[in-house]
Amino acid sequence: MGSLDSDTKKPWIQTPCIASAPLSRIAGCNIFLKLENHQPSGSFKSRGVGNLMFRAAAAAPGAD
């Protein structure tokens, strides 16, 4: 997806990644969970859609 300029306000936040002891025991390896439900929208989709919208706006005629 690429990255956005650091000056651009993004409609998502960085979310934590935590270890899951129960899943790690079952799988026999370290399992980590990315908690995208902590996004303001409660969904992982906000990053992808937000990035798509920013790119479309930047590519629009007169967006300079």
- Here the tokens at position 19 are 């270890």
pLDDT in tens, 42-56: 666 666 777 787 888
Supply 17's token pair: 């990644």
* Nearest by Cα to 40 from 7, 9, 63: 9
- Ranges assigned E (strand) in the chain: 17-19, 32-34
C-alpha to C-alpha distance for 53 and 35, rounded to whole angstroms: 23
**Confidence band of 13 (pLDDT split at 50, 70, 90):** confident
14-41 pLDDT, tens digit per residue, is 888 999 999 999 999 999 998 877 777 7
The CB-side HSE value for 40 (13 A sphere, CA atoms) comes to 7
**CA 43 from centroid of its chain's CA atoms:** 9
Whether residue 7 is predicted with pLDDT greater than 80 in this model: the reply is no
